[in-house]
Amino acid sequence: MRMKNFWKFIITISASITLLVLLSRSLVLGDQPLPPLGHFFNPFTGFWSQAESGKAGSQEQFSSTFLADSVHIAFNQRMIPHVYASHSADAFYAQGYLHAKNRLFQMELTARAIYGRLSEILGPETLERDIFARRINFPGIVEKKLEAWSQHPDMMAFLESYVEGVNDYILSLKPPFYPLEYKLLGIRPELWSVRKTLAISVSLAATLNLNLDDFGHTNTVWILGPELYHKLFPIFPDTLLPIDIEKASYPDSVPELPSQDYENFEYLKDQLTHGTNKGVGSNNWAVRASLTRDSFPILASDPHLRLTLPNIWYEIQMHSPDFHTHGVSIPGMPSIIIGFNRHVAWGLTNSSLDVLDAYKIKWIDKSKGVYDIDGEERQAELRTEKISIKNHSDHVEEVYDTHWGPVLYGHGEDDDHNIAIQWITSEPGESCELRTMWELMKAQSLEDYQEAISHFYAPGQNIVFASVQDSIAITVQGHFPVKRPGQGRFILDGSKSENSWMGIIPQEHLPQMINPERGYVVSANEWPTYPEYPYFYAGRFDHYRGRTIAGYLESLQPLNMERMKDIQTSYFNLKAAELVPRMLEFVTERSSFKDSLENWDYGYTPDNPLPTFTELWIRECLRLSFDEIALPDSMRNMEPEEWRFLELLNDPFDPIFDIKETKTTVESAGDLIRTAWQAARTSYLQITQERRPWGRSNGLSIPHLLGISAFSHLDLFTGGNGDTVNATTKTNGPSWRMIVEMSADSVTAHVIYPGGQSGNPGSPYYDNFIADWIQGKYYPVAIHTQSQQIAQSLNYSIYLTPQ
Amino acid sequence: MKNLIKIVIIICGTWLWSYYLDWRFSFVWPFLIILLVPHRWAWVDLVVGFFSVFVVWLTAALVIDGGNDSILSSRLAHIFGLPNGPTLVVFCGLLGGILGSLGSLSGHFLNKSLLGTNDPSKNNV
């Protein structure tokens, strides 16, 4: 009997141990890696700890040796923290604490992306990204920024206070309360550091001004030859409305430089490939009191970025003896990036100027890293990067750092793609963006604004400004290299030192407008100036949104908050409005479908199927017109913009309209547009009736940072595209909408962003703004200098106290 | 009656200690209790172990899920291929129950193999 029971014990205990081991290990379900299930499902330690309940009426206490004085953080019903501190350093400590409490995983993931350490936690899938981060040497740029910021000890003190706030929160965090993503990945949070904050700022620059179009332009000029290339890719459009329209104010004492010589690209024996991102854009504008109904200046700002959950922004109101400011911050960075106080408001759009140039290295002995500049031998430094990969052995990447910068692609003996890059972000000089943000947070006048922005170097931004004193301004702010005409459009010969940049454009020569006669300033990633501006620049500029906004600001006067909201959420597409009627002139067919296009208001509303057809038609027209630029799929090329296609239509018999596929006939623009019309009709009719409305074929998806669909909002019913002021695409959109009315009595704003304050998918505040954002709703905001004044208070507070 | 007391002891012990100890404690605690005081029949101990820990995991999950309006459980249910949040709560309870039952069963057989018999006068509790 005893023996029998013994064997039964052996069987049950074996089964138990097997189960315990299985539940202790990470499993894979389909493509989805799962965390150890025993721990994960345990209601006391597992994911259930992230199932947040409401916080109304509750209080939390936290004490720290770092604080000089107590800080009170009161939340309103949208979970927006209002930080009340007696010292600015304490306010930044509180901001760090809040960022960590709400967005810890987002911060860590962003910093890891810059350090090329994603694969360490995510496996081989992110190895390419890590290799890129290491090759371009993002971590090296962090070190340079640290040097630059160290020259601003007062700012470093704020940053250290912020870092302390983050780390105090992390250290207080017990494993059951690690954010869900840490549990899913089976990792623990890493401590924060000054360097990681700087990594976040490098990440912003990488998103906004890391423009690798030089590769595509070089491929394209190879295919087309210089003459046709310049015809298809003029730097300025005919109908140009730049940011700075005051030609008289352009600097006039700038020496003229000779054009860049590419010597038929003799130094480029091969062609290059690389993808790049498109669709990062933004709007901002400010109007003076004279144009508004209530006689207050109004400022509007909506940066368009790739949308994720959680959102890139974290809304916050901060009070200290130095400032009373409301706006959005970026988790991982102290300060408010876009916002307003009781005197001024400011907003940002990306300047889109090309600040990255590529250089072909002429090796003398590649294995030893010896290369040629001006006939002299130079020695490249070999950098060895070791990348850890989860559940795999390490990857080792060797990179040469040259005079120009790191060799971005190719290191193997057989690999001829030896292109080094020079990127303005890697040369911070003495700039400290925190000083800009800090000074803007406490700015009271136009002069304060000008002083504040002068410390800002990259990513170059169009910084708009308005004050209660009825001043408005816009500055194309940043470090922009002085270049020869044409320099850096294509890959440059790296064996000639004369191909260097010639300094940076002086601050006083940057395009800017202050209180212009027309009463408003506007930017939407368009050209900063007319061609008369004496410095050469190129870039990827938007031709439609800025002109649309300017049109509205002219026609909708007197302006007020409601009209500003209508502009920000407008689906009107100027590109379609200019192109479609012109293209329809060539369509001979009579049909109700054509009539509906003719009578259309060019609104890219979600329920309308016409944008779906229009985009197909334009795409087909461009494909057939520019079929000269035929490259293998693996090669990246550039395609002329729609505005250039419209300009070329002025001569319908231009040979560019000949369709290469039809070898025996020669087509005109009319033939081409009709052929494209038929092709687009066929494609359109192949789409099922339900999928034809624009919102169905082009709806926005907001994915979770790890792409977990259950934590994402996919296929939303949204309108617009990159050319509408409400620039919502499948992946990008207005990541923050803000409209501020600058009344001297009380500055008030209307704001919203597509997400929620909490980064926790188990929180009711994870995605609670999305539905309102899609509907174009806003939330009213005011500066509350005392916590008792907070409108719609949640009666939820955190008290940070000195120990 | 004694089974009821065992159930209460396992429930209270699992609940209290789970705040401080690893999830594997939901296996260890019923194992220890049944090892000390087994029933004559293995299936009775199995039911006691299963029921007790099932109740603990299910109730704890239910309380949290209620406060959260099933926001998290319904999202996670998708990841695990379950139809909705409540199913995930039940799944959680079942997982606890299985741990409890295996613990109690192992305890039962270890006791029997060490002390020997199924003598009702000794062990029929």
pLDDT band at B125 (very low <50, low <70, confident <90, very high): very low
How many angstroms away from the CA of B10 is the closest CA of chain A?
A: 16
Q: So what's the pLDDT on residue A411?
A: 46
Choice between A673 and A257, residue whose per-residue pLDDT is larger: A673
Q: Mean pLDDT throughout B78-102?
A: 93
Tell which residue, A5, A12, A10, has the closest CA to residue B119: A5
pLDDT in tens, B104-113: 999 999 999 9
For residue range A220-245, what is the model confidence (pLDDT) as tens digits? 888 888 999 999 999 999 999 999 99
**Residue A629 pLDDT:** 87
Question: Best mutation site among A10, A12, A704 for testing chain B: the one with the most B CBs within 10 Å?
Answer: A12
Is it the case that residue A414 has pLDDT exceeding 60? Answer: no
For A578, phi and psi rounded to 5 degrees? Answer: -85, -40
State yes or no: pLDDT of A281 exceeds 50.
yes
What DSSP state is assigned to residue A801? E
A671 and A657 in contact (C-beta within 8 Å)? yes
Report the length, in residues, of chain B: 125
Radius of gyration of chain A (CA): 28
Say yes or no to pLDDT of A618 above 90. Answer: yes
Smallest CA-to-CA distance from A711 within B61, B86, B77, B88 is with B77
Which of A106, A114, A104 has its CA nearest to residue A311? A106
Q: How confident is the model at residue A416 (pLDDT cuts 50, 70, 90)?
A: low
A704-729 in b/e form (b: 16+ CB < 10 A) is: bbeebeebbbeebebbbbbbbbbbbb
Average pLDDT, integer, range A505-525: 97
- Fill in the amino acid letter for A681: R
Average pLDDT over residues A7-30: 89
Q: Bigger pLDDT: B60 or A417?
A: B60
- Name the least confident of A1-10, A149-158, B114-123: B114-123
Q: What is the pLDDT of residue A632?
A: 65
Q: With cut-offs at 50, 70 and 90, classify the pLDDT of residue A794.
A: confident
C-alpha span between A616 and A612 (Å, rounded): 6
Angstrom distance (rounded) from CA A477 to CA A462 = 6
The pLDDT of residue A726 is 96
Res B20: pLDDT: 85
Least confident of A260-264, A367-371, A529-533: A260-264
Residue A140's nearest CA partner among A191, A215, A195 is: A195
Q: Does B73 touch chain A (CB under 8 A)?
A: yes
Residue of B nearest to A709 (CA): B79
ipTM: 0.91
Tell me which of A42-56, A142-156, B81-95 is least confident. Answer: A42-56
Q: What is the DSSP string of A388-400?
A: EETTEEEEEEEEE
CA distance A753 to chain B (A): 21
Average pLDDT (A343-353) is 95
Mean pLDDT of chain A: 93
Neighboring chain B residues of A6 at a CB cutoff of 8 Å: 109, 113
Mean pLDDT of the region A200-217: 90
Instruction: Say whether pLDDT at A267 is over 90.
Output: no
The answer to whether the Cβ–Cβ distance between A43 and B60 falls below 8 Å is yes
Model pLDDT, residue B117 = 57
Pick from A41, A45, A47, A181 the residue to mutate for testing the B interface (most B CBs within 10 Å): A41
Which of A580, A588, A578 shows the shortest CA–CA distance to A548?
A578
| Yes or no, beta carbons of B106 and A16 under 8 Å apart | yes
At A415 the pLDDT is 56
Residue B123 has pLDDT above 50, yes or no: no
Across the interface, do A44 and B91 touch by the CB < 8 Å criterion? no
How much is the average pLDDT of A669-681? 97
pLDDT value for A451: 97
Find the mean pLDDT for residues A610-636: 88
Strand partners, A357: A422
pLDDT at residue B121 tops 80: no
The amino acid at residue A248 is A
Given CB atoms, is B27 within the 8 Å cutoff of chain A?
yes
Question: Is pLDDT above 60 for A58?
Answer: yes
Token representation of residue A584: 């329809």
Assess whether pLDDT exceeds 60 at residue B54.
yes
* pLDDT > 70 fraction of chain A, expressed in percent and rounded: 96
Averaged pLDDT, B15-21? 88
Token couple for A708 = 């977990």
Find where tokens 């912020």 sit. A162
- C-alpha span between A436 and A335 (Å, rounded): 10
Q: Taking residues A431-451, report their average pLDDT.
A: 97
Lowest pLDDT segment from A50-64, A437-451, A681-695, B46-60: A50-64
Euclidean distance between CA atoms A737 and A769, whole angstroms: 12
Closest CA to A416 of A465, A371, A360, A354: A360
Residues in CB range of A557: below 8 A, 6 or more apart: A291
Residues on chain A touching B112 (C-beta within 8 angstroms): 1-2, 5, 8-9
- Nearest by CB to residue B75, choosing from A43, A53, A711, is A711
Pick the closest to residue A748 from A322, A441, A297, A323 (CA basis). Answer: A297
Taking a C-beta distance cutoff of 8 angstroms, is the pair A736, A347 a contact?
Answer: no
Please tell me the predicted confidence (pLDDT) of residue A270.
54
Angle between helices A153-172 and A138-150 (to 10 degrees): 120
Decide if pLDDT at A502 tops 70.
Answer: yes
Looking at residue A410, its pLDDT comes to 58
Instruction: Give chain B positions within 8 Å (CB) of A3.
Output: 113
| pLDDT above 70: residue B122 | no
Instruction: List the single residue in A39, A43, A53 with the smallest CB-CB distance to B57.
Output: A43
With contacts defined as CB-CB under 8 Å, which chain B residues touch A9? Answer: 106, 109-110, 112-113
Chain A: nearest CA to B74, how far in angstroms?
Answer: 9
Q: pLDDT tier at A30 (50, 70, 90 boundaries)?
A: low
Mean of pLDDT values over A281-310: 95
Listed in sequence order, the residues at least 6 apart from A328 whose beta carbon sits closer than 8 Å to its beta carbon are: A313, A314, A315, A316, A336, A337, A338, A339, A736, A738, A753
Is A1 in contact with B24 (Cβ distance < 8 A)? no
Q: Let me know how long chain A is.
A: 803
Query: Which chain B residue lies closest to A711 (C-alpha atoms)?
Result: B75
Q: What is the pLDDT of residue A11?
A: 94
pLDDT band at A688 (very low <50, low <70, confident <90, very high): very high
Q: Please give the pLDDT value at position A412.
A: 47
Please tell me the distance from the alpha carbon of residue B85 to that of residue B107, in angstroms, as a whole number.
Answer: 33
Whole-number pLDDT of residue B21: 87
